Structure formats: structure tokens, C-alpha cells
Chains A and B, each alone.
Chain A
């Protein structure tokens, strides 16, 4: 007789946890989902809002939104992408409300590069020392920051980023290019005198 192997709740996939939570209304399934993603959501909120107190409130609000909208999750994207898109949009909305004239993207700043400008390779950002990268990213407009985080932290596809921000793929490609150029410009401004230690 073969022994019955029961799966631990922490081994359930996101979809299994959601289906069971919606069927049984048992909070232990939601608790596992929360513990799986709370750290990443909190980190994104701190990076976007640059304020720990606001990031705490935002994390709480975001998970309540997730809970209330769980039945609407259609699995067109992965659960993580869905949670992160709620997170980015929530943070961008908060920044919009906080500042009357928000500069969300580089193009809002006014100094827009042309399509013919040279493309900055990914390695320029990915080879920066972490503390320098942190300072460069802190100076970016929130929209650019969000776009670079989606690309380099969450490994989202251009199409997915477009769905999160409600923009076309070509617009997102252009904004990634501008965000990289702006990062390079900030880096040169901050560390132009000491460029060796990237």
C-alpha cells in the first residue's frame, strides 16, 4: 500500500492558495500568501515612497486591496505580477496626491532625449556599486524608478510593464531608454570625478 503524502500548506502554489481561500474563507491560506509577498511589497513601498511610516501604511492598504479583489484575479498574469502592479500603482497614486505637480517620468521634466540618442546598455546600471545605485535611483522621477524596478528587480516583460502602467509597449521601451539615460546623467553628475569605482 502506498503511503498518502499530504502537501504542506506552504508548498501550495499561489493559485491553489487563492482557490482554497475563496472556497473555505479560511485565513490561514491568505496568511501564507501574505508571508510570501509582504517583504517584497514593503521593500517596493520604501523604495518608491522613501518613507518608512508611509510604506507601512501602504503595505497594509495594498494587502487589504489584494484581499478584497482576490475573486477578481483572473490568472492572466502571475499572482506576483498582479500584486506588484497594485503596489506600483498605489505608490504612484500616493506620490501624485502628495505633490501637486508630480514629475512622474523623465519626459515630464522637459529634457527629452531623441530616439536617435545612443542606447545605454543594461550593464551600465547592473554593474554600478549598490550604494551608488541607491543614490542614483533616489534622484529619479517616481515613474522612471518604478519602470526600472519592474524591469531589473521583478524581471517583468515590456508587455507586462505596459499593462501595469496602462501604456503601449513602444511607449514603455522609450521610457526605459530615457530612464537609463537619466540614470547615467545623474551618475555622471554625482560621481563624474570618480568614475572608476562603478
Chain B
């Protein structure tokens, strides 16, 4: 078996070298296909992060009546923390509310000086697991003893959630489309490479090579090409991150624009895997026609 592995490795290397142009064509096709896919994936990650950071800011504010008894306040706490939709509940006392208020308007002392620290109500701030649940949760809390008013983003938030939903759907469609395009492009390149060597395959069949013996070098080649393609695509995306996204992030601080190097490495392995899977299946499928003699 050791001898055969030698043969396969020799054959793969010499075929890749002998058909430099075909190899280049194949590698660049794979790179471009995977680059497209990678860009959509990275773009998707940035967008998803942005969208979740907006959604994460959605909170319910449950303002408490000044005359609410400590029992009523405690009961609201127990009720809200017990709800399955609720992620976290913070209590903000009148004093904390005033501090926050002073902090918000620290540049305009005139406004803060005229406000009685007691004028601001104590409240519960409720973080939800799914921002879409804001309305039903709010209506359940509305009118509970001790609750003055429940506020949530309302219309504006609904619009935001609708928008983020659309963004997510578009992302999924874009990934499916680019993945499909990558599969077609790569499979087609493999088919061209095999077609260019159909004579060789015919002779191998005639002198009695088994189908696996014919297939393995093609699969090796497909794998090497896919790996090179994934490497090139990931390198380009990494360059795009360093010179594009990172600089943009420095300029626009309030949006989470960039992706970590770790997620680029994860993406490289994803692209590598996709490339290899397509390479192996593509060459096996494309060879079937030529092996049926």
C-alpha cells in the first residue's frame, strides 16, 4: 500500500505541475467562488452582530407608582423573573434614576437643578430573551398593582425588528446562493480538468486500472486545489478585514463593524471543508461518465 500512496502523491504532484494552466484556472475559480462565499459569511457576521446589538438594547421599563408597597414591588420582581421570556431584571431606585438623569444632562446643570430627586419614579428594567416578546410581556404587566406604566419601544421597535428580520432572511438567501454558485463553478472546473484528460482515463481503463485507482489522483488534485483556493480566499478576506473593516471600525466607533481574527480562522476551515467536499464529490461525479466503459 505504501507504494500506491507514493504513486498517488507522485501522480498528483506531476499532474498539477504538468497542467499548470489548468491548475491555475482551477485554483483561481475555487478562490473566487470561496471568496464570494467568505465575503457573504463575514458580511453576515458583521450584520448579525450589529443587528443583535440593536436588538439587545430593547428593554421594557416598568415604572412603579410612588405609593406602591414593598410587597407589591417584590411581587412584580418575582412575577417578572419567573416569566420564561425574561432574561434579566434590574431594579432602578428613585435615587439611581436621578443619578442617571443627572449624568445624562451633566452639561446642562440648569435642567437638573430644577428637578426634585423625588420626581423620577423607581422602575424595573427588563431584558428579554427575544425582543419580539416585548408587547405580550408588557401587556401582562400593565395594570398590575404597583405598576404605573410599562414602556417599550413600540412602533419604532417593531420597525427595527422587522428590519433585522429582513436582514437575516436576506443573509440566509445570499449564503445559499453563493454556496450554490461555488458548487457549480468548482464542479464545472473539475469537469473541464477531467475532460482534458479523458484520453488518459480511457487508456487507464483499457490496460485494466481499477476505478478507484483512476479516481484517487483526481480526488487528491481536487483536494489540493480546494485547499489552495480556500487559503487564497481566506488571505484576501483577512486583508480585507485588516485594511478595510478595521480602519472603518476606527472611524465609526459606535457600530460593531469588525470581526475577530479567530472568526477568520474559523471561516478558513469552513471554506476549506466546503472546498474539499465539493472537490471530492465533484470529481467523483464528473468521473462517473468517463469510467463507464
Check if A and B associate. no
